[in-house]
Structure 1
């Protein structure tokens, strides 16, 4: 029971950390191009992991299965969705992108049924997915759906990013566990190695003249939404399962809206609270009945 409570607390912490990324990226890209920003945050995080491993006198596993994990999650869970979503949002609104990203928990739910023996489809989980998606719609509003059908390629790109996250989640769920900080370090190093050439291919990193605010934003992005988040990511997927973890895609936009109210002076709207209530209901229903009974001591 104690471990379960800890895992749900970590899931919430991960949502809080990732929800700050929107604000930090907004500050960072004011003077640093997006591919360069991504390469910088990943490289800083990778260097920090390397320093930590060197202090401990250790290194990441290099056997074929570990290398496959680093490459797949580095590409499918980091570089590819970033490129697809960033490109897609050039052509569609952020509200519509958020709705399209809502396919991630649904596709993870379906994929888990077929590939993860302990996460079969149930009516209860389907109700939970429905509540979570309703929470997302409540947050962004039905008018965002009016953009469906326009800029098909942009919408397909965002959907591709969502599906990439789903595949990465299922892949991690299926991998044998080894030390989490080594898994996080390996994936971060691989993602950095992939992102650096992309930055030079599409942008001119050495020509950037970043402001101090952008530099601070990149550093915080490296420390928390990248390095710390990676450590939590591997634990909660293994302990809570892919379907429960995927609900973070519904929690993050709600928390992001709250950050906008607290830090940017945006108007506090009633739909934020209703959306959070629906998302939390969704997470509750996705848990199995036996899991709930064990937590209550029944």
Structure 2
């Protein structure tokens, strides 16, 4: 398949899923093409399950390997999947040096850094808490976009959503109990990982919205650059394991092939079929699935404040997706030719 001539702007950081690399194109297509109407719903559910179980796979992977090794294996196997897809579709790599430079920065903030932070965090916190911390990414994205993106103007609904969301975070962490029994370091790393996703999405939105390369080639190069970054860092801070336990190894392989490579291909197809707004709603199912997986399969403890706080976080995140009102018309002769970014909004 030939690369698309243009890549439409990515969705707002407040609506972007916190686990994906380069944002998908924002132009929805019809659900026709001979596919059954329920087809996209099945793939939507599969994507939610894959990303929801990613936190369990991270936890299992750290039982046998260092966090940086888990992160490196994740991007390496994910890159292999996307490279195979690019070869099958005959995708062309981006040619502009500036695009590669921007993708290197995106790879750091959207892959190398958050994947490593989540792996380190799950050494001391549950996969359930990590999944819920991941759900705060839309809140970070909305807060940062109000500062970094002039077109994202605050509204009462979005500000209220931001406040409700962070109230939910405090509920999850048990703030009224003085955060007793909570590992501050691990929790902080999980929240920083979520913040890193938001920073990465805003950076991509400001720098790569007009790229002429296809989404698949941008994503594949981004993951490859993240693999290179971790390939340099990992040997400096870890040593080769004395043994290669099979279950943690399988967890890392699944985390990379399914949770990163296949998941991005599925998400790309969903965005093309039903549009970004529907496709990115998967974000709100991830903490539900990660909580269920952690409790039932890993035997993690669950207090009442964890699901209640998670629900509050999701309500707040949903409110932040409210679109701002229409921008005032520019004065005559001004704003001509100005490039627009983000979901078709001014």
Aligned to 2:169: 136
After TM superposition, which residue ranges in structure 1, 4 or more long, deviate above 6 angstroms? 6-13, 95-103, 153-156, 233-236, 244-247
Cα displacement (A) at 1:118: 3.5
Structure 1 residues 20-62: Cα deviation after superposition (integer angstroms, max 9, x where no partner) = 1221122222222222222122112212222222223333213
Q: Equivalent of 1:71, from 95, 100, 104?
A: 104
User: Given the alignment of the two structures, is residue 53 of structure 1 paired with residue 86 of structure 2, yes or no?
Assistant: yes
1:109 to 1:196, Cα distance in 2 relative to 1, 3 A:
same
Aligned to 1:199: 234
Aligned to 1:218: 252
Q: Distance in 2 between matches of 1:35 and 1:43?
A: 12
1:74 to 1:208, Cα distance in 2 relative to 1, 3 A:
farther
User: Given the alignment of the two structures, is residue 184 of structure 1 paired with residue 219 of structure 2, yes or no?
Assistant: yes
Q: Equivalent of 1:263, from 275, 297, 309?
A: 297
Cα displacement (A) at 1:119: 2.1
Q: Distance in 2 between matches of 1:264 and 1:93?
A: 12
Aligned to 2:158: 125
Aligned to 1:287: 321
User: Given the alignment of the two structures, is residue 39 of structure 1 paired with residue 101 of structure 2, yes or no?
Assistant: no
Aligned to 2:95: 62
1:235-254 pair list within 5 angstroms: 239-240=276-277, 248=283, 252-254=286-288
Q: Distance in 2 between matches of 1:97 and 1:123?
A: 29
1:142 to 1:183, Cα distance in 2 relative to 1, 3 A:
same
Instruction: Tell me, yes or no, if the aligned pair for 2:125 and 2:187 is still in contact at 8 Å.
Output: no
RMSD between superposed Cα atoms in Å: 4.3
Q: Structure 1 stretches of 5 or more lacking a match?
A: 292-298
Cα displacement (A) at 1:129: 2.2
Instruction: Tell me, yes or no, if the aligned pair for 2:91 and 2:217 is still in contact at 8 Å.
Output: no
Q: Structure 2 stretches of 5 or more lacking a match?
A: 1-26, 32-39, 326-346
TM-score by length of 1: 0.73
Instruction: Tell me, yes or no, if the aligned pair for 1:180 and 1:235 is still in contact at 8 Å.
Output: no
Count, aligned residues: 283
Structure 1 residues 191-240: Cα deviation after superposition (integer angstroms, max 9, x where no partner) = 111111222111223x442222122211210122211344438987x944
Structure with more of its chain in helix, by fraction? 1
Instruction: Out of 227-236 and 279-288, give the one that drifted further.
Output: 227-236
Aligned to 2:20: none
Q: Distance in 2 between matches of 1:215 and 1:259?
A: 19
Aligned to 2:336: none
User: Given the alignment of the two structures, is residue 17 of structure 1 paired with residue 50 of structure 2, yes or no?
Assistant: yes
SS in 1 for 2:179: helix
Aligned to 1:27: 60
Q: Distance in 2 between matches of 1:86 and 1:51?
A: 26
Q: Distance in 2 between matches of 1:158 and 1:269?
A: 19
Aligned to 1:171: 203
Q: Distance in 2 between matches of 1:69 and 1:26?
A: 31
Instruction: Tell me, yes or no, if the aligned pair for 1:39 and 1:196 is still in contact at 8 Å.
Output: yes
Instruction: Out of 100-109 and 28-37, give the one that drifted further.
Output: 100-109
Instruction: Tell me, yes or no, if the aligned pair for 1:254 and 1:275 is still in contact at 8 Å.
Output: no
TM-score by length of 2: 0.64
Q: Distance in 2 between matches of 1:11 and 1:172?
A: 24
Structure 1 residues 47-101: Cα deviation after superposition (integer angstroms, max 9, x where no partner) = 22222222233332131342123201111222233445555676x7569878877
Aligned to 2:23: none
Cα displacement (A) at 1:275: 3.9
